[in-house]
Structure 1
């Protein structure tokens, strides 16, 4: 009998999920409590199978036999706690995802700010869940399509994510050809180049684009070590992981980071709630602008 079969056969009859590892309701509750306290992630018990499948890979990687042992490891090890949270979140992304947001960014934010930027004024953008970098680099390419010399001006894009592994990927700026299929051909030709000697056919985004973006690990539930204000913030498909109260809190914090008339872009399945609702006005599909202080 294999070790996996031994573990399966020894699983208690009351296991929450039947599988390779013992996974009880108590294990799920502990994982859910850690995910909520550390990252604001709301995990109802209906997600038990998903949690099991995502974390079983961590148990195999660590050579751990039960979720009880794994929970003890997570409690004792900050790095594994980060890895657990990263495993429970989905990093689905692509260049120019929701293209209408980037068109709005170009026409409503960057073009009106271009002359001001050339006079030396600052422009600040934030990708608040940057994943492996496609979103902030799409923002950078949008900026460069309007202001080709943006790298020499005071224009910066902050790119943050909870997962340190995807942040490191974004810093590298390397992507496979198929990942660039949604990049407009003129931008792809101008701002990406093959990596010499790379057998995988990787392409690297140009230094002019990379220099606009600063990547940092950041937990949206924690302290934000910057004050803004931002001309535009992308926070898409993030708050869907949170409960209603946490969603309202995050929307409020993000909105207060915006300049007056600054733009907030959210996911197509998300809705603004809480105090932010009175501070924002709709300005397109899942696009909002912060009202100025004289607005009713």
Structure 2
């Protein structure tokens, strides 16, 4: 009978644990031992850039006051930024065919939306395009707040410049209508870009969003937090929605017992605020 292979302890594991604990404290992202290889791969460039010899000296840097400016770089390196225009298209179809018509019929002049965990900007720009195409010049105008914890990715979103590959999920008409071609790629038209306010925000911290919202997109973000943080976020999202507002979440995410939060499930990964 073959004996199971037992992995020998890696002397660097303590440093990965310390970095994982720091990421959790700063961003709420859970990185268990199974993620140590990911940490190693993603921090290779940061170790070199900071002049550290290895993961041990990098972890040591992070533990000192001199390492405080490195914390945003650490979070940027660790966070996952996978996105594209009109990802999970059914959510944008619901936005165009149900949300916009209802608000137009209610004589609303604006739609207040939040893209939480917006990455490089494709999601909030898709929200703006979907609203515009559904309402034209006669319907409510979008006012969109787009947030992410990664300062670098927010800077890129503000630049509004995308490669041909990144715009491949758009139709030729959409590229012509909302972008102009430059030697560096496709640049978002100013009239679309100004409908989105990009800002850095930690979802587990203070939310500098004062108005109640008609729509919240928070997709494939909450899965990186522990259960306690997830439940707290679902409750906070519900509290920020207007009655009748919509919450769109990721394909692998579910809200347990949404009725307790004043929400009802109205479709796959789609919820509405019903009271509270």
Alpha-carbon shift at residue 255 of structure 1 (Å): 1.4
- Provide the C-alpha distance between the structure 1 equivalents of 2:133 and 2:189, rounded to a whole number of angstroms: 13
Q: Given that residues 236 and 267 in structure 1 are in contact (C-alpha distance below 8 angstroms), is that contact kept between their aligned partners in structure 2?
A: yes
Give 2:178's aligned residue.
191
Residue 162, structure 1, aligned to residue 149, structure 2: yes
Written as runs of structure 1 = structure 2, the 5 A alignment for 1:1-296 is 16=10, 24-75=12-63, 76=65, 77-116=67-106, 121-149=109-137, 155-195=142-182, 198=183, 200=184, 202-273=185-256, 278-293=261-276
SS, match of residue 179 in structure 1: coil
Q: Given that residues 114 and 146 in structure 1 are in contact (C-alpha distance below 8 angstroms), is that contact kept between their aligned partners in structure 2?
A: no
Alpha-carbon shift at residue 228 of structure 1 (Å): 2.7
> 1:274 and 1:225, CA in 2 relative to 1: closer, same or farther beyond 3 A?
farther
Q: Given that residues 30 and 226 in structure 2 are in contact (C-alpha distance below 8 angstroms), is that contact kept between their aligned partners in structure 1?
A: yes
Query: Structure 1 stretches of 5 or more lacking a match?
Result: 1-13, 17-22
Alpha-carbon shift at residue 277 of structure 1 (Å): 5.1
- Provide the C-alpha distance between the structure 2 equivalents of 1:74 and 1:223, rounded to a whole number of angstroms: 24
Normalised by the size of structure 2, how large is the TM-score?
Answer: 0.90
SS, match of residue 176 in structure 2: helix
- Provide the C-alpha distance between the structure 2 equivalents of 1:249 and 1:206, rounded to a whole number of angstroms: 37
Post-superposition Cα deviations, 1:240-285, rounded to whole Å, max 9, x if no partner, equal: 1111111111111111111111111111111113777542111111
Give 2:4's aligned residue.
none
Alpha-carbon shift at residue 45 of structure 1 (Å): 1.0
Q: State which drifts further: 62-71 or 259-268.
A: 62-71
Give 1:11's aligned residue.
none
Instruction: Provide the aligned C-alpha RMSD in A.
Output: 2.1
Query: Structure 2 stretches of 5 or more lacking a match?
Result: 1-7
Alpha-carbon shift at residue 74 of structure 1 (Å): 2.1
Normalised by the size of structure 1, how large is the TM-score?
Answer: 0.84
